[in-house]
Amino acid sequence: MVSIEGYECISSIPLSPFNHEDSWFWHYTNHGSGYNTAMTLDKSLPSSASDVFSTWWKQFWGLKIPKKILHFAWRGFHEILPTRIGLEKRKIVSNNSCELCGFGGESSAHAIFWCPFAQEIWKLLELHFYMSAWAIWKERNKVTHGQHLGQPQQIVNWIDNYYGTVVSAREPKNNSKVVHKDPQEEQRHTILMVDAVVLNNTSSVGLGAIILSEDRRVRVAVCKSLKGAIILSEDRRKFSWITSRDLEFKI
């Protein structure tokens, strides 16, 4: 159908006064053919739909998220998730209504996006799409297995924690750590308190030590039993090491 404006434009075209047959006219070429132009445009168009989808799926499977989530998304795309519609087609259930809201005809799209339960979660989420969709589906399956649904905010918190775990696991590990010291830390004192006892009947020595902070809080406590003779020169070296680090010690 031609619009009124188009009809008026066509009607205003003057007829040729010459008595000859009409011919096709293409103003981009002198000979009136648009074949070459059409071929040029055809080459500039994207490849076939199968090639486009092949490239898209390669990018999809290359996403840096767990494979189980990618497999879930793939099944959802092909509508082969065990939704109520799918289970009804396979004669597993007789009712295809959503178990959460009662909507007739539970498809993958309804389960993940349009069910009121799912929409409450989507409103709160700002995370990866596939991971969020997988989490919603995982939570819905609890009803099928006789479990209770979690609250939307609880599910959001779970997705947030899981997302953080995945991201942290994929971050490159840097063994070199930069330690930022508190300027006041160097001015604080640490107290080391030690004690020892010689057990003549067993020829062993019992040692104990406690490191206290400046406010007298225990930072480290250790005790140890040593067998053998006491070497005073070794003890002197240990106390020399303590005093060289400005540690206050009491015996």
Contact in structure between 127 and 163 (CB atoms under 8 Å)? yes
Helix-then-strand count for the chain, H and E: 10, 4
Same domain, 126 and 213: no
Task: Assign 116 a pLDDT band (cuts: 50, 70, 90).
Answer: very high
For the purposes of burial, counting CB atoms within 10 Å of the CB of 193, is it exposed (0-12), middle (13-18) or buried (19 or more)? middle
Task: Assign 245 a pLDDT band (cuts: 50, 70, 90).
Answer: low
> What is the dihedral sign for C-alpha 87, 93, 97, 101?
negative
Residue 186 clears pLDDT 80, i.e. is over it: no
Q: Please give the Cα distance from 249 to 190 (Å, whole number).
A: 9
Domain that includes residue 218, residue range: 191-227
Same domain, 149 and 106: yes
How many independent structural domains does the chain possess? 2
Same domain, 147 and 220: no
pLDDT at 117: 92
Token output for 202: 């067993």
Same domain, 71 and 149: yes
Same domain, 197 and 137: no
Same domain, 143 and 199: no
**Residue with structure tokens 């490159």?**
172
Q: Is residue 208 part of a domain?
A: yes
Q: Which residues contact 76 (CB under 8 A, 6 or more apart)?
A: 108, 112, 133, 137
Q: Is residue 178 part of a domain?
A: no
SS3 content of the chain, % helix, strand, coil (to 5): 45, 15, 40
Q: Is residue 7 part of a domain?
A: no
Q: Is residue 180 part of a domain?
A: no
Q: In this predicted model, which residue has the larger pLDDT, 219 or 97?
A: 97
SS3 (DSSP) at 207: strand
Half-sphere exposure of 210 (CA within 13 A, CB side): 10
Q: Which of the listed ranges 39-43, 69-73, 121-125 does the model predict with the highest average pLDDT?
A: 69-73
Q: Is residue 179 part of a domain?
A: no
| Each residue's pLDDT tens digit, 19-43 | 666 666 665 566 555 556 555 655 5
Contact in structure between 60 and 70 (CB atoms under 8 Å)? yes
Q: Is residue 185 part of a domain?
A: no
Q: Is residue 155 part of a domain?
A: yes
Query: Residue 68's CB: how many other CB atoms inside 10 A?
Result: 9
Same domain, 131 and 164: yes
Same domain, 72 and 113: yes
pLDDT at 213: 76
Same domain, 165 and 207: no
Check residue 191 and report its DSSP letter.
Answer: E
Nearest to 124 by CA among 164, 165, 157: 157
Same domain, 213 and 134: no
Same domain, 165 and 198: no
Nearest to 60 by CA among 78, 41, 48: 78
Q: In this predicted model, which residue has the larger pLDDT, 242 or 184?
A: 242
Q: Is residue 22 part of a domain?
A: no
Check residue 81 and report its DSSP letter.
Answer: S
Same domain, 73 and 164: yes
Indicate the angle between helix axes 49-61 and 67-77, nearest 10 degrees. Answer: 150
Q: Where are the beta strands (DSSP E) in 63-199?
A: 191-199
Check residue 1 and report its DSSP letter.
Answer: -
